Amino acid sequence: MYKNIEKQDPKLFGLIQKEEERQRDGLELIPSENIVSKAVLEAMGSSLTNKYSEGFPGARYYGGNEIIDKIENLARERAKKLFGVPYVNVQPYSGSPANLSVYIATCEKGDKIMGQHLFDGGHLTHGWKSSITAKFFNAVQYHVGEDGRIDLEEVERMAMEEKPKLIWVGATAYPKEFPFKEFGEIADKVGAYLVADIAHIAGLIVGGVHVSPVPYVDIITTTTHKTLRGPRAGMTMVTEKGLKKDPDLPKKLDSAIMPGSQGGPHNHTIAAMAVAFDEASKPEFKEYAKQIVKNAHALAERLKENGIELVGNGTENHLILAKCGKGKGALAEIVLDEAGLTVNKNTIPQEPASPFFPSGIRLGTPSITTRGMKEREMEKIGDVIVEAFEIFKDLELPDGKGSEKREFLKNFREEIKGNEKVLELRKKILKLAKDFPIPDFFV
């Protein structure tokens, strides 16, 4: 597949080979990662990358876009049908640019916006203090309750008091189903734009295992590379409700993308999105989405049975947040990484440490479900995670500065490489990976 890279750039070829070996011999449990089909990869590597196409179909700034127009329209029409919306823009480079375009289209600098608190699972672009979205806009943030669910009473109270111009519903680390209907009612009371960021759950919505936001929100943003199993890209959509609220929303969002925040679209990526949308329209994708949720539930139950505490006491989607002890998320990430399970450290609600050294890890089942694993394999993976937790349970990060903690983690990573228990766990994961190889349909 990489014969020209191998000949022209052997150093890069070697690195690609190592990464493919890592993916092949380990298991990806990061919920925002998946495995794309060969067809998606072929589109990503096609000659479409050669063409500049600033503007939109029928209104380009460059010539020679007759075929590109048809490709982009194909992607847009497939997305509209897939999600049941009247307007789609497939040009955002990723999820954050898609979200930024919503601000540009609906808000003025200094307007008040509402989003979910980062420690409670929210996304940076929903108004977190270190994001440009909080520097340009007046952000207020809501939380989850003791049960791990969004505190709707707080959301309504905050909305009524703050009167935001825009409200986000959607998150990056939330293991419950999103209450789109309730958010819609709250947004209507204060006249706010309601935007659903479905980046994590887009594939679950298409697969019919998560409620759709389409009847309740004005705008939808998403990525296409998580549960939707497409290329790394973003997308914005407007619903019928959004059109009734503001008939000019499509024009505003188009202008917010080009020329508001981006230049030429990535035509090769848009073609790959079209491929992924077609794949997601097939009946087998619905079965895949169902299995993602079944697997997540099975993995969560196995962890709970063995004493690992989960945010929200489980999951209703593809994602699990496991508590590791104060500041120990990085320790868990390192041990599991050495054992062949890729996870990411993550904050938990009411985080007792910091987002740099958080107290949880985030787990998900999209990638391992693509490999054909089911509930029985989730039990085996859960057992490995439980054993891995035993390795670091008595360790504590130093109380000093961040540099001291980073040095501690660096040394810990080196020490753990030769740990007999970790090597034993690595063998178990390698066997699972070999028993469930990345399918021939996929790379």
pLDDT at position 441, please?
A: 67
CA angle, residues 430, 346, 295, in degrees to nearest 5: 50
**119 touches 108 (CB < 8 A):** no
Last residue of a domain, which of 225, 247, 280?
280
* Same-domain status, 346 and 256: no
pLDDT at position 443, please?
A: 41
* Same-domain status, 177 and 293: no
Residue 370 belongs to domain spanning: 288-435
Digitized pLDDT (tens) for each residue of the chain, 443 residues in all: 799 999 999 999 999 999 999 999 999 999 999 999 999 999 999 999 999 999 999 999 999 999 999 999 999 999 999 999 999 999 999 999 999 999 999 999 999 999 999 999 999 999 999 999 999 999 999 999 999 999 999 999 999 999 999 999 999 999 999 999 999 999 999 999 999 999 999 999 999 999 999 999 999 999 999 999 999 999 999 999 999 999 999 999 999 999 999 999 999 999 999 999 999 999 999 999 999 999 999 999 999 999 999 999 999 999 999 999 999 999 999 999 999 999 999 999 999 998 899 999 999 999 999 999 999 999 999 999 999 999 999 999 998 888 999 999 999 999 999 899 999 999 999 999 999 999 876 54
* Same-domain status, 414 and 391: yes
* Same-domain status, 197 and 270: yes
pLDDT at position 40, please?
A: 96
- Please tell me the pTM assigned to this model: 0.96
Residue 81 included in any domain: yes
* Same-domain status, 145 and 163: yes
Residue 36 included in any domain: no
The number of beta carbons lying within 10 Å of the beta carbon of residue 424 is 12
* Same-domain status, 276 and 389: no
The domain that holds 195 is classified in CATH as 3.40.640.10
pLDDT at position 400, please?
A: 82
Eight-class DSSP state of 329: H
Residue 107 included in any domain: yes
* Same-domain status, 189 and 76: yes
Residue 228 included in any domain: yes
The domain that holds 423 is classified in CATH as 3.90.1150.10
Residue 8 included in any domain: no
Rg, the chain, Cα only: 22
**296 touches 320 (CB < 8 A):** yes
Give, for 22, the enclosing helix (H) or strand (E).
Answer: helix 10-25
* Same-domain status, 292 and 273: no
**235 touches 92 (CB < 8 A):** yes
* Same-domain status, 102 and 239: yes
pLDDT at position 337, please?
A: 97
Between β-strands 193-197 and 166-169, what pairing exists: parallel, antiparallel or unpaired?
parallel
Last residue of a domain, which of 280, 312, 339?
280
The number of beta carbons lying within 10 Å of the beta carbon of residue 390 is 11
Residue 16 included in any domain: no
Residue 259 included in any domain: yes
* Same-domain status, 313 and 195: no
Active-site residue list: 52, 54, 197, 223, 226, 232
101 residue type, one letter: S
146 residue type, one letter: E
Residue 272 included in any domain: yes
* Same-domain status, 98 and 235: yes
Last residue of a domain, which of 234, 252, 280?
280
Q: How many domains does the chain have?
A: 2
* Same-domain status, 273 and 226: yes
